[in-house]
Amino acid sequence: MRSYLPDYPVINPTSLDEALEVLAAKSNIKPLAGGTDIMVYMDTGVFPASTLLNLYSIQDFSKTPEFSDGHLKLNPLSTYQHARTDQAIVNAFPLLAIAAKEISVLAVQSRATWIGNVANASPAADGVPALMAYDAMLKLSSKDGQREVPLHQFYQGYKQMDLQPNELITEIQLPPLDPGWKDYYRKVGTRRFQAISKTLLAGRIKLNEGRVIEDIRLVFASVAPYTLRAVQTESVLRSRPLTPEIIDEAAQAIQDEISPIDDIRSTETYRRQVTTNLIRDFLNSNLTK
């Protein structure tokens, strides 16, 4: 059953300060970015009555991401479309472009924001894993000031975030990348496009001359209550030579780190098996290169 629209008044702040002021003064405020998650929640009637804070009315936010000296800053209105079409970003952070292309269709990609994807905190989010694999940092702002939180420490449980009711996510920062990393992104849904992930791996690996894993990132969707960076499995692999044996070890380790469930989209067994297959596929593809 749909939500009752008059239950959702909208406030249109014109500046960031004004928005932060509203957040500090009132309770039960929900930021509204692209609205592509919120609209679905309203359609199914699961969005609690609240006041919407329309971020589109804020003049301070430019939509285009800032990219200089290898630093990328995504602001609250930066959409997937930007990451797909800005060639400098595509070259520097290819996973963002790949993830952006996998998310829904052009209409949604042109409206939906990266920050909305982060703040929606869905374990099935497709944008978050790419950001997390690049060690994204979040800038949180409130009337009282600003703080920074690494994205991989931002989630604390299902839809639980290190985010206060008076705070707004005002930036996602990606640090410059050092060379030598290899990227991997594979989304698994029941059909090729327009699918909610049943599991997903955004992976990055840096091998040195002697085929030793200098560093690695393994980020998964839909196999834990929130986007999971598999730090334990990463540490099994880090500083070890990439061999078939160590791939087996990693495939074993990931099983203890994930906690997938049965739901209307898939089964726990399938998610476990395919997650293992994804790790193997990722590591195997680097074995011989």
Partner 1 sequence: MHIPRKEEEIVKRTISRNDDFRVLQHNIKRPEGIDKVTGKAIYIDDLQTENHLYGKTIRSTVAHGILKNIHFKDGIPWDEFVIVTAKDIPGKNVVTLIEDDQPYLCEREIMHKAEPLALIAHEDKHLVEKALNYVEVEVEELPAIFSIEDSQQNKVTLQQSNLTNEFHVGLKEISEDVWTECDQIIEGTYETGAQEQLYIETQGIIGQVDFDGDAIKKVSVWGSMQCPFYIVKALMPLFDVEETQVRVVQTETGGGFGGKEEYPNILSGHAALLSWKAGGRPVRMIYDRQEDLWATTKRHPSKITIKTGFKSDGTLHAMDIDLNLNAGGYITLTPLVLSRALLHCWGPYRCANTSANARAWLTNSIPFGAFRGFGTPQAVFAMELHINKCAAELNIDPAELRRKNLLQYGDTMPTGQVMDEKIDLDFLLDRSLEKSDYVNRRQQIEQFNQSQKSSGGLKRRGIGLCMNFHGGTFAGSGETHMNSHVAMTLDAKGHVDILAGQVEYGQGTITTFVQIASEVLGIPVEWISKHQPDTDVVPDSGPTVASRTTIVVGKMVERCSQALLKKLSEVGLNKDYTANEFQQAAQAYHNKHNELLYVKVKFEAPPDQLEWNEETYEGAAYAAYTWKCDILEVEVDLVDYSAKCDKFISVVECGRVLNPIIAAGQIEGGNAQALGFGLYEDTVLQEGGMANNQYTNYIIPTTADIPEMDIEFIEFPYLDYGPYAAKGIGELPIDAPAAAVAAAVAHAMGNHFICDIPILPEKIMVVAEQAEGI
SS3 state at 161: strand
Rounded Cα distance between 188 and 222, Å, is 10
Q: What are phi and psi of 71, to 5 degrees?
A: -85, 135
Q: Using the rule CB under 8 A, is 289 a contact of partner 1?
A: no
Q: Which does 219 bind (CB under 5 to 8 A by kind): ligand FAD, partner 1, none?
A: none
Among 55, 265, 286, 289, binds partner 1 (CB under 8 A): 265
Question: Which spans in the chain are helix H?
Answer: 16-25, 38-44, 80-85, 87-92, 94-102, 106-109, 114-120, 127-133, 231-237, 244-257, 268-287
The piece of 37-45, 90-98, 198-206, 278-286 that touches ligand FAD (CB under 6 A) is 37-45
Among 92, 151, 188, 223, binds partner 1 (CB under 8 A): 188
Q: Using the rule CB under 6 A, is 31 a contact of ligand FAD?
A: yes
Which of residues 125 and 250 has its CB atom nearest to ligand FAD in the complex?
Answer: 125
| Inter-helix orientation angle 268-287/244-257, to 10° | 150
Among 89, 92, 96, 113, binds ligand FAD (CB under 6 A): 113
Which amino acid appears at position 259 of this protein? S
Among 195, 225, 246, 286, binds partner 1 (CB under 8 A): 195
Residues in CB range of 128: below 8 A, 6 or more apart: 117, 118, 151, 219, 221, 227
Q: Using the rule CB under 6 A, is 125 a contact of ligand FAD?
A: yes
- List of residues contacting partner 1 (CB under 8 A): 1-2, 4-6, 40, 43-45, 186, 188, 190-196, 264-267, 269-270, 273-274, 277-278, 281
